[in-house]
Amino acid sequence: MKKTNTLLILALIIGIAFHGSGIFFTLEYTYDALIHLFFADHYANSWFEPWDFRWYTGFTVQAYPPLVHQTIGILSHIGGLKFGMFTVGLTAIVLFITGAYRFGLLMTGNRRVAGYTAVLAVFSSTFVETLHIFGQLPSVAALSILMHCLPEIYLWIKTGKYKYLLTSLSLLAVTVTSHHVTPIFGMVFFIFPLLGMAVMDLAREQVNTMKEVTFMVFFASFKKAFWRIVSFGFGSLLLIVFCILPYWLNSKRNPITQVPIPHGSRDNFLEVTSSGLVFLVIPWGILTFLIPYIFYRFFSKRYIFFGLSMALLTILGTGGTTPIPLIMLGETAFNILTLDRFTLWATIMALPIFGEFAYRMVEGDIKVAMQKRFGSVYHRIIGGLLAGGILFMVIFTMSLGYFRPSQPAKIKMLPIVNFLNQDMHDHWRYLPLGFGDQMAWLSAQTKAMTVDGNYHSARRLPELTTRAIERIENSKFRGVEGIGSLQQFLTVPEKYNLKYIFSNDKFYDPILYFCGWQRLQQLENGIMVWEKLNVPPIPAIIPKQDVPRFLKIMWGVIPLLTVVIAFVINIQMIWFRMLKSKKIAPPSYLNHAIAYSGFPQRVITVMHIWAVIILGCIAFGYYQFYMKNTTQIAPSNVVKAYYDAIDFKEFERAFSYIDPDSDATLAQYMLEVSVTDGILSSYAKLDSIGIELSNVTKNSAKAKTATRWITPLEKVSKMYYHELVKKKGKWFIKPSSFDKDIPPDQLFVANTTSFFNHGRRKISTQQTHHEDVLKQPLLEVLSAKLVKYDSQYAIIGELQNIDNVPADVVIKATLYNDNNKELANFNAKYHMKHKLMPKEITSFRVNFEGIAWSQTKDTIPPTFNPDEFTPIELEEQPTKFNLQCAGNVANSDLYKEVALQDMQFTKHGIEGVLFNSGIQEITIPQLLVSYYSNDKQLLWVDHQFLAEGVRVQRKQVFTYEPKNMESIKVINSSLNNCYINGLPNESIGTIIFPNRKKSHETDQFQPYDGEGFDYLKFEMNGYIGNPK
Amino acid sequence: MVILEILNNMKNILVLLFVFGILSCSSEKETEVKPDKVSNDFKFNDLKKEFLADETIVFISESKINSIDLLPKLVVTNSFGTIIVGGEIANAGVQYSLPKIITRKIGLVDWKLVDESIVLQSGTFEILPNISKKNGLESYFGPRSISAGDIDFSMLVVIPSDVYDNPVLDGTTVELRYQFENDVTDVPLETDDLIAWYNVGAPHKSGRILVTALCNGVKSKELTSIVFPANATTFKIDYTRDHAYADGNQIIRFNTSIIKDEFGNVISDGTLVSFTAVNTKGIQLQAVGLSIGGVAIAKMLHPDKKDTWKVKAYVTGAAKSNAINVSFKTAFDDYPVNISKDNRRIIVGPITSFMNQLAPDGLLVRLAINDSDKQRIETKVSTLQNGKVMYYLDPDFYPDGNYEIEIKSAGIVKTYNLNLDGSTD
């Protein structure tokens, strides 16, 4: 009668108490957990239907093995989705700890050691990270079950009893249906070495000592076990193919066309230290110090195959630090796989050896050896340090999500869900911005659809698959491609029936405004809702990719069936054991336990040397970190720190870098900061900073600081000059001057015309009542031309709101060739004023953008430039165009009170002043400049954003450099194919504006002696960040 | 699994074959062939050719067939589709009653009596709208807004229907009534091709038109169209300001007279009026005003140097104002410039204004720095504070050498050649 293993029980109690309570505070903030929740929600609502319309304009959930999702889905019917998720999380924790125990027992044959393995598994930093930071539930579950599977496989090879084949295959099937990568790579890295070890043990039983196991003996045993290996191999292959057959068929049908998305695990960890921390230092944790012992044990004869596997995993896990993983995996696999899983497996594989070390350290021969050599106090100190190290790594890892949250603060979804359910808002697609992985949780709670999604392997829209972005939602972190991709969705939202945007990050607001979106309301959770007018609702019938019914049934039935079968088969075994109805021999791996005695002193020496090396590396790294990040230790540090503080809007910190002996006070500084608004101070992210120091003396220096800022609209470069001084060993920045303009009056009066649109006067669940549908405002296209400029085609023109109400204008242009073949279409982006007051005119330009970089995958520019423009590649010469203009009644963003003053033409360009004569602060002013020929015909439309805003009753200077128009070529100026709200342009103009005086417009042109043009026209547009 | 799938497919194919077979048989045999089972004399009694909607329609035959299974079927087709009606055995013989979905829908109805694919008898009748009960009245009026004048109009469309939502017969009278200001006008109409319609022409005055329609004692709801004023006509502009000095700080307000259209209506609120001011250099400055009560106001800053503006305003394409001239007197003629001994520190000011007061803060002072070849190196823009602006030519950026600096403020330009070695030329 064997004793209950107290260490295992202890491990389970601690594990469940610690991780079980921990997941309630961590799991929802992890990268992956909410994605799995979304999938689970899909199964909870439509078990057998693999198509989900809610993401990516439709995708199939057969792109991810379903077991964990389906389990959460089933459990959600008891207590909701999150109940399901936490239950599965708890189950995974139990499976992991017991799996580690069984894996430890299999490897060492010693129950005590296995108990230590289980305890250490609870505190393993790699497990903590995978569960509490990454939230990879399927991966954890699959790995745990794989560990349960390993002893059964071993016993099958060893004994050849069919019941073990059955148990091993049944468990493998569960692994396969939970996660696809784990069993495939698990085969290579776990099962192959295990087979080797089993054969080795067979060979060992043929002879008396391990030393006698020669290659011939091993080969003989291999021949004996050959058919067992083959049958298991075929069985498992069959299971991998059969259990998730729909997955494989889907992969074949929808091959992943996604361009590689950068992942931290592929970085050079020495360069990107944050990736190194997350993907190397944390998973290895305290194991780093034991690497000599781990390899010493793994390269003993019995474990030799594990040793090879371990070495491979360790190397692959180093990502881009060395070129070896790239060479070993090849370009494609390297860019598709996330390499952190290799480190995960390596550290899991090391657990039994770690357990063995702990056993020998606590109560075995290492203790004896160390006490003999260094005395018992030293042994205790080392033991305490190791235990302390383990605890430190656990607490450090757990707190990582707290101190450096990977997600934006938790968003209350209910107001958004209510908004989507209201008033048929879910008849359009929506797009969350700045939600992080919480967008999956939002999707799970609504049936409304989004163009975005959070499982990029399932994407199908070329706008997304050609971009190395995770989500559009966080496009600002992916620089040019991100914002470029976002801009395409924002400019042509009709294509995707995209009408609502939930913005949790005001960074995106300017681009929304200039693409013609308008603020609708702020929800009670602080999320701003933006809407776009003139977007048709989603059609009642939308296409989907169907799969044969038998695949749907397989997908819905097999995963849970594998669990039931595995449960019946394996629990029955335990039942037999418990009832002792049959006398069962102890598993044969228990025979291969080794006696832990006489630990070689050599290894202890090596381990000490290794520990010193590691400690040296840590100390050096810390020193480097300190020197780089201590803010006032060197002149360039203080400038960097100052801009870092400005970038993060930590003005008090920024002020602390200002020379304390200057007369600036914090109050004064804050005042000056608060009055500067504009794209740079409110919507920019510092991209790079170059500091050129001059006049460096011991106590002073001058810094010429070149900054590059990412803004949602374009890249802004700005040069700043600073004087730096050193006082009491610290460097400081001298304060610079600010605008001293004061307006003449304290109090202003302004009368404005405001508009309100009821939406629906009649409260009805039906379509908006006929009488509540406003007439579309009438517009008139005054001129429109197809031109070619710098080998780029564009349609330019002028358009007037000829109605009596303000209009929101959408312009869609289509290009045709001589044979009336459609070549391309696109909408006017920000080369126009989207909101027009009655009788207001706007110039416009429609650029034809291709899907950026779809052709030039390998020449993606490395730096950020949201203004980057990819002209569409046209197969033929466009010669004609069609213009569809739509007006809708606008009632917001109608601020027009900007005057253009003090203009001067200099040889360096046009200098001028914008004066804000109204009562709203203009955050981002925009100039639209139209060029005209000597006969006053429109040639080109250009724009310029001003980096700083215009405050109320104040002025802002600008400089504009006119372009050279000599190369412009007008191809077609016909107004024949211009339509307003679907009606011919001409018919509207002749009725509403029969006696148009053309001279009025041309009278307002500014004569200018330019290169290739003779007149200019300036128009002002402005984004108001905080409308009052 | 695969076998299941095949079996499943087989089943589908069999069903399809079966249906197809029936269809092909029936289409082949649709000719009047002498019946075998049912006697030839199974005929319906004389039928009416016209019914009112919802009137009971029963086909009666005096045939003595007394088994329901042997009864022929009645195939009835109206504009909605086709149904099969089975017969019932009653005292008088056999009767077929048509369901309400047929009897309530107006239009032609075809019927065929069919026995085992043999057509025994066929015919048609018509169902007419039943307006004996209270009817419905759908009405639409649009566009919802029009322009005053003689061209634009809103159209009223009325669709009277019976209680079963059938359109009434052509020629039904509909009374239209519309109101504008104090006038209420009645227009008698008749339905034609299911609807009655009328174009309500725009009046010359802006305001609101209300319309309603009446048919068979049923009234429509109140519908409305807004009459917006027509395009603006020539107007006048004027200005107000606090003083005539070009101090670059005070604000001048331009306003229009009340802008009206050709019929005397005040133009719509929010109409954009653009003001242009051409200065003495021929450069156009701009400001806009949005009209309220026909008056648009635009504000501009006083220039910071002596100037004369020729100001005009436009409602572009429709109307233009008179031109007015606005002159600004210079606030100061000159300002001092002090340059330090090493030529690196340049102080502009103190600048005094028209009453010898310090010029207001915020006046722009530009300092352009050219190298000895008159190539522009940099333009520094600064604003006046307490009457002064200080510039410093940093030796890091301006190493020793010859430079030309150009100071410009309030249109007064001063040029100096600096030798950044200590001496002034």
Q: For residue B301, what is the nearest residue in chain A, using CA coordinates?
A: A915
The pLDDT assigned to B31 comes to: 43
Q: Is residue B34 in a domain? A: no
3-state SS of chain B?
A: CHHHHHHHHHHHHHHHHHHHHHHHHHHHCCCCCCCCCCCCCCCECCCCCEEECCCCCEEEECCCCCCHHHCCEEEEEECCEEEEECCEEECCEEEEECCHHHHCCCEEEEEEEEECCEEEEEEEEEEECCCCCCCEEEEEEECCEEECCCCCEEEEEEEEECCCCCECCCCCEEEEEEEECCEEEEEEEECECCEEEEEEECCCCCEEEEEEEEECCEECCCEEEEEECCCECCECEEEECCCCEECCCCEEEEEECCCEECCCCECCCCCEEEEEEECCCCCEEEEEEEEECCEEEEEEECCCCCEEEEEEEEECCCEEECCEEEEEEECCCCCCEEECCCCCEEEECCCECCCCCECCCCCEEEEEEEECCCCEEEEEEEECECCEEEEECCCCCCCCCEEEEEEEECCEEEEEEEECCCEEC
* Closest chain A C-alpha to B394 CA, distance in angstroms: 10
3-state SS of A86-125?
A: HHHHHHHHHHHHHHHHHHHHHHHCCHHHHHHHHHHHHCCH
* pLDDT tens, residue by residue, A508-517: 888 899 999 9
Q: Is residue B222 in a domain? A: yes
A1000 contacts B268? CB cut-off 8 A: no
The pLDDT assigned to A700 comes to: 78
Gap between the Cα atoms of A170 and A302, Å rounded: 27
- Kindly give the interhelix angle for A111-122 and A351-363, rounded to the nearest 10 degrees: 110
Residue B59 pairs in a beta bridge with B96
* pLDDT tens, residue by residue, A592-622: 778 888 788 888 889 899 999 999 998 988 8
* B249 touches A: beta carbon within 8 Å: yes
Structure confidence at residue A97 as a pLDDT band (50, 70, 90) = very high
* A909 touches B: beta carbon within 8 Å: no
User: Chain A, 775-814: which have a CB under 8 Å from a chain B CB?
Assistant: 775, 782, 800, 802-806
Q: For residue B142, what is the nearest residue in chain A, using CA coordinates?
A: A775
Structure confidence at residue A667 as a pLDDT band (50, 70, 90) = confident
Residues of B in contact with A997 (CB under 8 A): 317-318, 320
- Considering only CB atoms, B360 lies closest to which of A742, A904, A997, namely A742
Q: For residue B3, what is the nearest residue in chain A, using CA coordinates?
A: A550
* A917 touches B: beta carbon within 8 Å: yes
**For residue B143, cis peptide bond before it (omega within 30 degrees of 0):** yes
Residues of B in contact with A839 (CB under 8 A): 232, 271-272, 315-318
In what helix (H) or strand (E) does residue A564 lie, and over which residues does it extend? helix A549-579
A992 contacts B152? CB cut-off 8 A: yes
A800 contacts B316? CB cut-off 8 A: yes
Structure confidence at residue A742 as a pLDDT band (50, 70, 90) = confident
User: Chain B, 209-248: which have a CB under 8 Å from a chain A CB?
Assistant: 223, 228-229, 231-232
A996 contacts B285? CB cut-off 8 A: no
Q: Is residue B16 in a domain? A: yes
- Looking at the fold, whether B351 and B279 belong to one and the same domain comes out as no
B272 contacts A804? CB cut-off 8 A: no
Residues of A in contact with B317 (CB under 8 A): 782, 800, 802, 839, 993, 996-998, 1000-1001
First to last CA, chain B: 101
* B137 touches A: beta carbon within 8 Å: no
Structure confidence at residue A484 as a pLDDT band (50, 70, 90) = confident
The pLDDT assigned to B4 comes to: 43
Lowest mean pLDDT among A230-239, A644-653, A993-1002, B25-34: B25-34
* pLDDT tens, residue by residue, A424-449: 888 999 999 988 888 999 999 999 99
- Considering only CB atoms, B249 lies closest to which of A744, A753, A805, namely A744
Residue A326, pLDDT above cutoff 50: yes
Residue A42, pLDDT above cutoff 50: yes
Structure confidence at residue A910 as a pLDDT band (50, 70, 90) = very high
* B300 touches A: beta carbon within 8 Å: yes
The tens-digit pLDDT sequence of chain B (425 residues) is 344 444 455 555 555 545 444 444 444 444 444 444 555 667 787 778 889 888 888 888 887 777 788 888 899 999 889 999 988 888 778 888 999 989 999 999 999 988 888 888 888 999 998 887 777 888 889 888 999 998 889 999 999 988 888 888 888 899 999 999 899 999 999 999 889 999 999 999 999 999 999 888 888 888 999 999 999 999 999 999 999 998 888 899 999 999 999 999 999 999 999 999 999 999 999 999 999 999 999 999 998 888 999 999 999 999 999 999 999 998 888 888 988 888 888 898 788 888 888 888 878 888 888 888 888 877 777 888 888 888 887 776 677 888 888 898 888 888 888 887 754 44
- Looking at the fold, whether B97 and B180 belong to one and the same domain comes out as no
Q: Is A539 helix (H, G, I), strand (E, B) or coil?
A: coil
Q: What is the mean pLDDT of residues A236-253?
A: 89
Q: How many A-B residue pairs are in contact by the CB < 8 A criterion?
A: 179
* B374 touches A: beta carbon within 8 Å: no
Beta-carbon contacts of residue A372 (< 8 Å; ≥ 6 apart): none
* pLDDT tens, residue by residue, A385-406: 999 999 999 999 888 878 777 7
* B278 touches A: beta carbon within 8 Å: no
Residue A851, pLDDT above cutoff 60: no
Q: What is the mean pLDDT of residues A752-758?
A: 87
What is the domain extent for residue B352? 337-424
Structure tokens at A808: 């929101």
* B8 touches A: beta carbon within 8 Å: yes
What are the residue ranges spanned by the domains of chain A? 6-30+64-406+553-615, 630-733, 775-1023
* A997 touches B: beta carbon within 8 Å: yes
The pLDDT assigned to B210 comes to: 94
In what helix (H) or strand (E) does residue A927 lie, and over which residues does it extend? strand A924-932
Q: Is A323 helix (H, G, I), strand (E, B) or coil?
A: coil
- Looking at the fold, whether B312 and B359 belong to one and the same domain comes out as no
List the single best residue of A700, A702, A737, A902 to mutate versus B (max B Cβ within 10 A).
Answer: A902
* pLDDT tens, residue by residue, A764-799: 777 777 778 888 999 999 999 999 888 788 999 999
The CATH fold assigned to A630-733 is Nuclear Transport Factor 2; Chain: A, (3.10.450)
Q: Which residue has the higher pLDDT, A422 or B227?
A: B227
Q: What is the mean pLDDT of residues A268-281?
A: 83
* A908 touches B: beta carbon within 8 Å: yes
Residues of B in contact with A744 (CB under 8 A): 249-251, 360
The pLDDT assigned to A480 comes to: 64
Q: Which residue has the higher pLDDT, A913 or A580?
A: A913
Q: Is residue B32 in a domain? A: no
Q: Is residue B144 in a domain? A: yes
- Considering only CB atoms, A702 lies closest to which of B250, B276, B396, namely B396
pTM of the model: 0.84
Query: In CATH, what number is assigned to the domain containing residue B213?
Result: 2.60.40.10
B147 contacts A992? CB cut-off 8 A: yes
Choose the final residue of a domain: B330, B350, B368.
Answer: B330
A774 contacts B270? CB cut-off 8 A: no
The pLDDT assigned to A69 comes to: 93
* A729 touches B: beta carbon within 8 Å: no
* One-character DSSP codes across A420-474: HHGGGGGGSEEEEES-TTHHHHHHHH-S--BS--S-GGG---HHHHTS--S-STT
Domain total of chain B: 5
Gap between the Cα atoms of A1010 and A563, Å rounded: 78
Structure confidence at residue A555 as a pLDDT band (50, 70, 90) = very high
- Looking at the fold, whether B100 and B184 belong to one and the same domain comes out as no
The pLDDT assigned to B355 comes to: 87
Residue A862, pLDDT above cutoff 50: no
Place of tokens 């080795």: A200
* Closest chain A C-alpha to B133 CA, distance in angstroms: 27
CB A464 within 8 A of CB A495: no
Q: Is A276 helix (H, G, I), strand (E, B) or coil?
A: helix
* Closest chain B C-alpha to A116 CA, distance in angstroms: 47
Residues of A in contact with B287 (CB under 8 A): 899-900, 915, 917
Q: Is residue B42 in a domain? A: no
Lowest mean pLDDT among A463-467, A884-888, B127-131, B355-359: A463-467
B145 contacts A800? CB cut-off 8 A: no
- Considering only CB atoms, B5 lies closest to which of A550, A902, A1007, namely A550
Highest-scoring range by mean pLDDT, A814-818, A865-869, B251-255, B390-394:
B251-255
- Looking at the fold, whether B146 and B217 belong to one and the same domain comes out as yes
User: Chain B, 34-63: which have a CB under 8 Å from a chain A CB?
Assistant: none
The pLDDT assigned to A871 comes to: 62
* pLDDT tens, residue by residue, A23-35: 998 888 888 889 9
